[in-house]
Amino acid sequence: MPKPGKIRQRAANRQGERVKILISGWRIQRRIQALAKQIRRDFPDEPLHLVSVLKGGVFFLTDLARSIAGEVSFDFIAVSSYGKATRSSGQVRLTRDLDSSIEGKAVILVEDILDTGMTLQYLLRLFQHRKPKHLRVAVLLDKPERRIAPVHADYVGFSIPNEFVVGYGLDYAERYRNLPYVGVLSLGGNLKKEVAGE
């Protein structure tokens, strides 16, 4: 049976694609534990309701939820803004709504990455109309150079440069989500032309 490292390497070599590790799995887990403590300090006695944005936020949600002491529940919502391209389209649409009401709850919106801010701006407006008791935002990755909308996260794992990243839930055309780290994706010449033409 091939070693796990070799499996990941072959996956990263598809059609000339390369992934260079940016943030190791160990650093991610250590930072999530620190964020969990910070969140619980801000809400010492309240049940917390975490809402993950599918699909990229699932890894972050599960590790964050397991690291927060006390009562925690969660739900999921899905929006679309990327498709198969490496740049956000800027148009956000709801593709899956919450299963339950957030009215009166202490809600932490959990995102994999804060990029242009268009998705987060859309979700904040949507959630604020639903009258949660508290509404905070936790993101694993913040890419401030790409910001368009005037939004920010209350809890940030890492600020990163303006690179297209994959792994730990983030994907390119539904690939690389399962990598245990965050890496910078480089595309071969032909793929770059295809993406630029989308």
Least confident among 39-43, 52-56, 132-136, 190-194: 190-194
**Cα 169 from Cα 113, distance rounded (Å):** 10
Is 115 noted as a catalytic residue in this protein? yes
**Cα 163 from Cα 150, distance rounded (Å):** 21
Give the residue among 79, 72, 71, 132 at the shortest CA–CA distance from 107: 132
- pLDDT tens string 76-109: 999 886 544 445 555 788 889 899 999 999 999 9
**Cα 5 from Cα 11, distance rounded (Å):** 10
Given the residues 63, 115, 142, 171, the one annotated as active site:
115
CATH number, domain 25-160: 3.40.50.2020
Confidence of residue 61 (pLDDT cuts 50, 70, 90): very high
Give the residue extent of every domain in the chain.
25-160
Question: What mean pLDDT value characterizes the chain?
Answer: 86
